[in-house]
Chain A
């Protein structure tokens, strides 16, 4: 009953025009996994953008959703197998499109963060210098140019994989990797003077890449995916998402991220 009320509220506030669209089928409990990544989610404090988005989604859907924490590589594996229903802030590629559906809620660019003493002034500089190692989070994908760089470095054995951002920053400080790919929600750590002092930021000349709710195709039939997508769209339309982002970013940046 309460769930129905919430859904009705969601649809009304979204003004999505999807009058008559059914609420998600809550006949079974769902699973949603977060990954520890900068402002998206910090396990240390159990807070972050994705946590807020998850809470809001759960509230609007009225479904029982068990929220857990996992490495990103594990999340993709479970989404593919259908053992996990949802995750957040995912980006698509041809391979993922086969097993996952998405509901976009923000979009951002990617940047190469490099040590100043590596002598790298542009993307080609980094690739040309065989001694430079790029630190990446296992299973992460990026914008097209960044993906190509990562794939070529992988073939050359010049990738250093990590399970999260924290060890990447540490290894960057220790000069064990000389570069890493970052997104706006990785900025807070950058605020630390010691990292900012020794690094420079190079932009990938790609358009912003949309990020969204990841839905396992195996776990959710297309009609259900569409219902969840409507929920996310509702959160965009009524400004909820923008308000969530404004908790973590300056208003202009928050607007740039959610208005795409």
Chain B
């Protein structure tokens, strides 16, 4: 009972090994997948932070550029046209500043000074100068200068950004805070074409020289104008310092709603990615204005680590688990299979030892064993049994004439025919070259033995076909009955042997009963 349970438990072991192996593989695979995901997220978060930081830094750089103008006017005490022109010329705006389209001055002009202002501008040589859009307003802030004065920047002066709510919001913010402020998405005045790229403008206030500006009221009172820088967003983004990680696409929207109308910038690969692995929106505050930066991963980034350890772990894990289970199975069943093999081999050896190699009939030893058993049994039960000696007549000439191979084949056929003639319980043994012996257990009388002997004699008389040759042979048989003809092996054997010789002497091919 215990042993059977133990066997059942052992049979489960390979499965346990498989399940255990697969579970560990799954755990490792899951851990790897999680950490890969974590690493991806960390890289993504880092890239987002870096991008935001680069945009902010770039904006600060432009703010510094405008502060230079502020400082210039503070030094000279006036909004001097030539000084401004020379300042921008000295800056030598290079590729680092390629984002900026123009630096300019917008002058604060209250309505009562409008006419004088226009007259002054015309006197300066800007014939046809007027404040645009036309119309009477309380306050104007016309653009009076734009540098560098080349290319598109030579567009006529006079546009009043204060009249545009988007620009005005930033101008107010700059005026009240004393700091740089940028507008929402605008179309720059210098863009004359129909498909102007999205732009924005940064304003920095200029206050009257030497006046206090430590409160909103004072700043409003002493404002004389603004210095501004106008940008195309795509140029601004193109001139960022540092390198964007590959496989990340970027979109920037004005404000907090990612509507098409608010789109300021989209990186070249930024359109139409469905189901990205990671996506994030960040609401940057740049120069007092909110931009929504939307970052999305592309396949290149997602596989950028070049690590697919999870798949390797999965495949290796499953493979190793199966191998481990197999190994356990082999170790467990190896002993059983070896024992079975040994038993089979032992049985085969025993059979070989007890049976004649040529005819596969029991040898003298096995026959003797069975005879002893039958003797003991018969003695115990007062039973009877018979022993028949059989010798083939004239077998030697067959060997001589046709060779031993044919003789052996004939012996095999004789053996088979003998076997077919006796009862299942009877034993036929080969005790010499052409000598056989038959044990007939549990007999009622000598008659039965004689009948069987006669049946054998008849069976042998039928011709044999050996190697395509028809061979005829006869046999002589001697029958001895226990206990009539002998009470032990020796006497009984002797009686049967003598009877067989008598049969030979009487002309062969016959049966004789002992006694």
Query: A138 and B257 in contact (CB under 8 A), knowing A46-B177, A160-B283, A161-B283?
Result: no
Contacts of A147 in B (CB 8 A): none
Query: A45 and B177 in contact (CB under 8 A), knowing A73-B49, A161-B282, A167-B290?
Result: yes
Report how far A176 CA is from B290 CA in the complex, Å: 15
Which of B41, B52, B216 touches A45 (beta carbons < 8 Å)? B216
Contacts of B290 in A (CB 8 A): 163-164, 166-167, 170
Question: Is A208 part of the contact surface with B, judged by Cβ < 8 Å?
Answer: no
Report how far A168 CA is from B137 CA in the complex, Å: 36
Query: A71 and B178 in contact (CB under 8 A), knowing A44-B173, A162-B283, A163-B283?
Result: no
Contacts of B48 in A (CB 8 A): 161
Contacts of B280 in A (CB 8 A): 157, 160-161
Nearest-CB residue, chain A, relative to B48? A161
Which of B178, B280, B282, B286 has the most C-beta atoms of chain A within 10 angstroms of its own C-beta? B282
Question: Is B393 part of the contact surface with A, judged by Cβ < 8 Å?
Answer: no
Report how far A43 CA is from B285 CA in the complex, Å: 12
Question: Is A85 part of the contact surface with B, judged by Cβ < 8 Å?
Answer: no
Question: Is A58 part of the contact surface with B, judged by Cβ < 8 Å?
Answer: no
Report how far A104 CA is from B107 CA in the complex, Å: 45
Within 8 A of A (CB), among B283-307: 283-286, 288, 290, 292
Question: Is A155 part of the contact surface with B, judged by Cβ < 8 Å?
Answer: yes
Contacts of B257 in A (CB 8 A): 174
Q: Are A163 and B216 in contact (CB under 8 A)?
A: no
Nearest-CB residue, chain B, relative to A154? B45
Question: Is B320 part of the contact surface with A, judged by Cβ < 8 Å?
Answer: no
Within 8 A of A (CB), among B324-340: none
Question: Is B256 part of the contact surface with A, judged by Cβ < 8 Å?
Answer: yes
Question: Is B56 part of the contact surface with A, judged by Cβ < 8 Å?
Answer: yes
> Closest approach, in angstroms, between the C-beta of A252 and any C-beta of chain B?
28
Question: Is A50 part of the contact surface with B, judged by Cβ < 8 Å?
Answer: no
Which of B53, B176, B216, B288 touches A74 (beta carbons < 8 Å)? B53
Q: Are A44 and B288 in contact (CB under 8 A)?
A: yes
Question: Is A237 part of the contact surface with B, judged by Cβ < 8 Å?
Answer: no
Nearest-CB residue, chain B, relative to A164? B285
Q: Are A74 and B283 in contact (CB under 8 A)?
A: no
Q: Are B288 and A171 in contact (CB under 8 A)?
A: no
Report how far A163 CA is from B182 CA in the complex, Å: 15
Q: Are B179 and A163 in contact (CB under 8 A)?
A: no
Question: Is B154 part of the contact surface with A, judged by Cβ < 8 Å?
Answer: no
Report how far A225 CA is from B309 CA in the complex, Å: 50
> Closest approach, in angstroms, between the C-beta of A127 and any C-beta of chain B?
18
Question: Is A69 part of the contact surface with B, judged by Cβ < 8 Å?
Answer: yes
Question: Is A80 part of the contact surface with B, judged by Cβ < 8 Å?
Answer: no
Contacts of A167 in B (CB 8 A): 256, 283, 285, 290, 292
Nearest-CB residue, chain A, relative to B292? A167
> Closest approach, in angstroms, between the C-beta of B113 and any C-beta of chain A?
27
Within 8 A of B (CB), among A130-189: 138, 154-155, 157, 160-164, 166-168, 170-171, 174, 176
Query: A157 and B285 in contact (CB under 8 A), knowing A45-B216, A74-B56, A174-B256?
Result: no
> Closest approach, in angstroms, between the C-beta of B248 and any C-beta of chain A?
15
Question: Is B281 part of the contact surface with A, judged by Cβ < 8 Å?
Answer: yes
Question: Is B431 part of the contact surface with A, judged by Cβ < 8 Å?
Answer: no
Report how far A43 CA is from B182 CA in the complex, Å: 13
CB 8 Å contact bits of B170-205 with A (1 = contact, 0 = none): 000100111100000000000000000000000000
Report how far A45 CA is from B178 CA in the complex, Å: 9
Report how far A161 CA is from B178 CA in the complex, Å: 27
Report how far A157 CA is from B48 CA in the complex, Å: 13
Nearest-CB residue, chain A, relative to B286? A163
A residues contacting the other copy or chain, number (CB 8 A): 26
Report how far A127 CA is from B48 CA in the complex, Å: 23
Question: Is B38 part of the contact surface with A, judged by Cβ < 8 Å?
Answer: yes
> Closest approach, in angstroms, between the C-beta of A191 and any C-beta of chain B?
20
Within 8 A of B (CB), among A64-108: 69, 71, 73-74
Within 8 A of B (CB), among A41-61: 43-47
Question: Is B65 part of the contact surface with A, judged by Cβ < 8 Å?
Answer: no
Question: Is B398 part of the contact surface with A, judged by Cβ < 8 Å?
Answer: no
Contacts of A71 in B (CB 8 A): 56, 285
Q: Are B176 and A171 in contact (CB under 8 A)?
A: no
Nearest-CB residue, chain A, relative to B45? A154
Nearest-CB residue, chain A, relative to B178? A46
Report how far A43 CA is from B219 CA in the complex, Å: 13
Query: A69 and B179 in contact (CB under 8 A), knowing A154-B45, A167-B290, A171-B256?
Result: yes
Contacts of B283 in A (CB 8 A): 160-164, 167-168, 170-171
Q: Are A138 and B178 in contact (CB under 8 A)?
A: no
Q: Are A43 and B288 in contact (CB under 8 A)?
A: yes
Within 8 A of A (CB), among B271-286: 278, 280-286
Report how far A180 CA is from B255 CA in the complex, Å: 19
Contacts of A69 in B (CB 8 A): 179
Which of A161, A168, A174, A176 has the most C-beta atoms of chain B within 10 angstroms of its own C-beta? A161
Contacts of B286 in A (CB 8 A): 163
Contacts of A171 in B (CB 8 A): 256, 283
Contacts of B176 in A (CB 8 A): 44-46
Q: Are B256 and A163 in contact (CB under 8 A)?
A: no
Report how far A166 CA is from B52 CA in the complex, Å: 17
Report how far A176 CA is from B279 CA in the complex, Å: 14
Q: Are A176 and B56 in contact (CB under 8 A)?
A: no
Q: Are B179 and A43 in contact (CB under 8 A)?
A: yes
Contacts of B173 in A (CB 8 A): 44
Nearest-CB residue, chain B, relative to A74? B56
Contacts of B255 in A (CB 8 A): 170
Q: Are A138 and B45 in contact (CB under 8 A)?
A: no
Give me the interface of A with B, judged by CB distance under 8 Å: 36, 43-47, 69, 71, 73-74, 138, 154-155, 157, 160-164, 166-168, 170-171, 174, 176
What are 17 of the A-B contact pairs (CB < 8 Å)?
A44-B288, A45-B177, A46-B215, A46-B216, A46-B219, A138-B282, A154-B45, A155-B38, A160-B282, A162-B282, A162-B285, A163-B286, A164-B290, A166-B290, A167-B283, A167-B290, A174-B257
Give me the interface of B with A, judged by CB distance under 8 Å: 38, 41, 45, 48-49, 52-53, 56, 173, 176-179, 215-216, 219, 255-257, 278, 280-286, 288, 290, 292
- For the complex of A and B, the 4 pairs showing the least CB-CB separation, nearest first, are A167-B283, A163-B285, A162-B283, A164-B285
